[in-house]
């Protein structure tokens, strides 16, 4: 019996339908197949250039670097491998601020809806004497370009605006922001962990200087990511830590060959299949939302309805606590917000920044669709949510 058949039949022990693709994605089987030999028979340290095992690992890492670079229109040597997007975001913001702070450039401009690790990195620099400007967003989750332009001054070192939001999927106008930053002579960093492989990203066309990528959000493995660092004009940053001097001294430490290989394969596949996959997910998303709205007219979508990731929905069910709704739908795996803050389950600061009152923010689910989401899974999930909400209504709760 296949897993999807088991789910469709709602067998009690079937795995829940996975609808949390913004938290993480399964490793694509094609990716896994490319990774496996690098765990076992080809185990060399990619920095051991004195022998054949090391050199074959290095060649594989460089091939992966090329594939990651190609997915964002960069050159391979502009890619610095990291342990993930969190490290890449830390490296971009702290690295840029620490290098330029002594030169009188000590201001950081970012947005209220950024990922926690961007906000925390900015906060850490505040403790080191930088000043941070947190821009608001409008009710749709978009940043206001005039406010951004007004926030940049001669002491601004870096502007950090994410490509796609991890909770509401909203796509920020990167090209416009990039043009503005280039014109004003400040570095433009974008956390593109949710965007790369899902929507087109081109660091040249968008004038991006620093860009963070995560492998496990695009069907690659956990534990690896990258920071794109522009060479012309050069984006100068300081490393977070020193050591063996790998990655052109920007990131020391042995590179994990199998993870880099998996990242490269995932980037290559995503690039080839993005258009088709995007169209398919967009259709599924629309079906999901119209299915909900048709039977529960009170639900509302958070974030811009069009300018968002094809696979993201963020839906408020007024009067229904999100945690209760999740508990009532054990057959589907969704989340209340970003996975990182989910453990503490506090009301989403992203939704609050959109102006959502706390009771509505607490009644909101993030629904993430992805590569393996099927029509029947969408139907099943809509049914499950609708009947859970109705049961709740009938019981007067």
Partner 1 sequence: MTRVAYLDWNATAPICPEAAAATTDALALLGNASSVHRRGREARRALEAARSEVAALVGARPSEIIFTSGGTEANQLALNGVAGRRVLVSAIEHDSVRLAASGAEVVPATAEGVVDLAALDRLLAADARPALVSLMLANNETGVIQPVAAAARIAHGANALLHCDAVQGAGRLVLDHRALGADLITLSAHKLGGPQGVGALFVAEHVPLAARQTGGGQERGRRGGTENLPGIIGFGAASAAVGRRPSDGERVRRLRDRAEALLTAIAPDAPVYGRDAPRLDNTLAIGMRGVAASTQVMSLDLAGVMVSAGAACSSGKVRRSHVLEAMGVAPAAAESAIRISLGWTSSDADIEQLADAWGALYARTRASAA
Considering only residues 173 to 232 of the shown chain, the ones binding partner 1 according to CB under 8 A are 214, 216, 221-224
Partners of 20 in the β-ladder:
368
Q: Which of 16, 173, 278, 291 binds partner 1 (CB under 8 A)?
A: 16
Q: Is 103 in the site for partner 1 (CB under 8 A)?
A: no
**Minimum Å distance from CB 89 to partner 1?**
8
Number of residues that bind partner 1 (CB under 8 A): 77
Least Å from the CB of residue 101 to partner 1:
15
The reply on whether position 117 binds partner 1 by CB under 8 A is: yes
Q: Per CB under 8 A, does 59 bind partner 1? A: no
Check binding of 40 to partner 1 (CB under 8 A).
yes
Does 243 interact with partner 1 (rule: CB under 8 A)?
yes
Residues numbered 312 to 351 that lie near partner 1 (CB under 8 A) are 326, 330, 333-336, 338-345
The two most distant CA atoms of the chain are separated, in Å, by 72
Query: Given candidates 11, 15, 139, 294, which one binds partner 1 under the rule CB under 8 A?
Result: 15
Q: How far is the CB of 39 from partner 1 (least distance, A)?
A: 5
The token duo for 381 is 């999930």
Q: Does residue 2 touch partner 1 according to CB under 8 A?
A: no
123-162 positions binding partner 1, by CB under 8 A: 123-124
Distance, in Å, from the CA atom of 237 to the CA atom of 210, rounded to the nearest integer, reads 10
Instruction: Give me 31's structure tokens.
Output: 């990716």
**Which positions from 258 to 277 touch partner 1 by CB under 8 A, shown as an x/- string?**
xx------------------
Alpha-carbon gap, residue 199 to 192, rounded angstroms: 10
Residues 6+ positions from 35 with CB-CB distance below 8 Å: 27, 221, 258, 259, 261, 262, 265
- Choosing from 131, 140, 200, 252, the residue that interacts with partner 1 (CB under 8 A) is 252
Q: Which residues contact 24 (CB under 8 A, 6 or more apart)?
A: 216, 217, 222, 339
Active-site choice (117, 181, 260, 340): 340
Question: In 3D, which of 204, 185, 90, 165 has the Cα closest to residue 354?
Answer: 165
Which of the residues 73 through 92 are near partner 1 (CB under 8 A)? 82-87, 89-90
Structure tokens at 209: 């200087």
Residue 7 near residue 369 (C-beta atoms within 8 A): no
- Contact criterion met (CB below 8 Å) for 211 and 205: no
CB 238 within 8 Å of CB 44: no
Six-digit token pair at 181?
């930053």
Q: Give the three-state DSSP class for 39.
A: helix
To partner 1, the closest distance from the beta carbon of 345 in angstroms equals 7
Residue 311 makes contact with partner 1 by CB under 8 A: no
Angstrom distance (rounded) from CA 314 to CA 200:
22
Residue 63 binds to partner 1 (criterion: CB under 8 A): no
| Residue 6 binds partner 1, judged by CB under 8 A | no
Q: Is residue 37 at the binding interface for partner 1, with CB under 8 A as the rule? A: no
Q: Tokens for 188?
A: 């433009």
From candidates 1, 12, 13, 50, binder to partner 1 by CB under 8 A: 50
The residues pairing with 170 across neighbouring beta strands, listed in sequence order, are 308
Contact call for residues 380 and 331 (beta carbons, < 8 A): yes
Q: What is the CA 338 to chain-centroid distance, rounded?
A: 10
Beta bridge partners of 12: none
When binding is defined by CB under 8 A, the residue of 44, 197, 303, 347 that contacts partner 1 is 44
Q: Smallest distance, Å, CB 317 to partner 1?
A: 17
Radius of gyration of the chain (CA): 22
**47 near partner 1 (CB under 8 A):** yes
Query: Strand 156-160 to strand 107-111: parallel, antiparallel, or no bridges (unpaired)?
Result: parallel
Task: Find the binding residues for partner 1 in span 274-293 (CB under 8 A).
Answer: none
**Cβ at position 88, least distance to partner 1 in Å:** 10
Q: How far is the CB of 38 from partner 1 (least distance, A)?
A: 9
Out of 59, 254, 290, 376, the only residue in the binding site for partner 1 (CB under 8 A) is: 254
Active-site residue flag, 340: yes
Contact status: 116 vs partner 1 (CB under 8 A): yes
Structure tokens at 365: 């689910």
CB of 307 to partner 1, least distance (A): 25
Residues annotated as catalytic (active site), given as ranges: 340
């Amino acid at each position: 019996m296949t897993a999807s058949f088991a789910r469709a039949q709602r067998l009690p022990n079937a795995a829940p339908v996975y609808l949390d693709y913004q938290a993480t994605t399964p490793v694509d089987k094609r990716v896994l197949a490319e990774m496996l030999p690098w765990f076992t028979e080809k185990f060399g340290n990619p920095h051991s250039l004195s022998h054949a095992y090391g050199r074959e690992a290095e060649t594989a890492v460089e091939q992966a670097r090329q594939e990651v670079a190609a997915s964002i229109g960069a050159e391979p040597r502009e890619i610095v491998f990291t342990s993930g997007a969190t490290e890449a975001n830390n490296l971009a913001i702290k690295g840029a601020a620490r290098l330029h702070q002594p030169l009188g450039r000590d201001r950081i401009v970012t947005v209220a809806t950024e990922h926690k690790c961007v906000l925390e990195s900015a906060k850490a620099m505040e403790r080191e004497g930088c000043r941070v400007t947190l821009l608001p967003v409008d009710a749709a989750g978009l940043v206001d370009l005039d406010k951004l332009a007004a926030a940049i001054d001669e002491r601004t070192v870096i502007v950090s605006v994410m490509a796609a939001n991890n909770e509401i999927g909203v796509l920020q106008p990167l090209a416009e922001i990039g043009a503005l930053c280039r014109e004003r002579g400040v570095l433009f960093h974008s956390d593109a962990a949710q965007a790369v492989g899902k929507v087109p990203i081109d660091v040249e066309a968008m004038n991006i200087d620093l860009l963070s990528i995560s492998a496990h959000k695009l069907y690659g493995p956990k534990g690896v990511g990258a920071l794109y660092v522009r060479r012309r004009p050069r984006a100068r940053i300081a490393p977070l830590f020193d050591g063996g001097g790998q990655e052109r001294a920007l990131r020391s430490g042995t590179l994990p060959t199998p993870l880099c290989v998996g990242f490269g394969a995932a980037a290559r596949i995503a690039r080839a299949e993005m258009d088709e996959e995007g169209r398919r997910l967009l259709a599924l998303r629309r079906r999901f939302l119209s299915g909900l709205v048709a039977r529960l007219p009170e639900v509302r979508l958070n974030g811009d309805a069009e300018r968002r990731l094809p696979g993201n929905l963020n839906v408020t069910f007024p009067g229904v606590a999100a945690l209760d709704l999740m508990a009532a739908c054990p057959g589907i795996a969704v989340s209340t917000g970003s996975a990182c803050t989910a453990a503490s389950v506090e009301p989403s600061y992203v939704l609050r920044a959109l102006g959502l009152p706390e009771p509505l923010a607490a009644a909101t689910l993030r629904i993430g669709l992805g590569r393996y989401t099927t029509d029947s899974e969408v139907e099943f999930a809509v049914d499950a949510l609708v009947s859970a909400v109705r049961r709740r209504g009938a019981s007067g709760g």
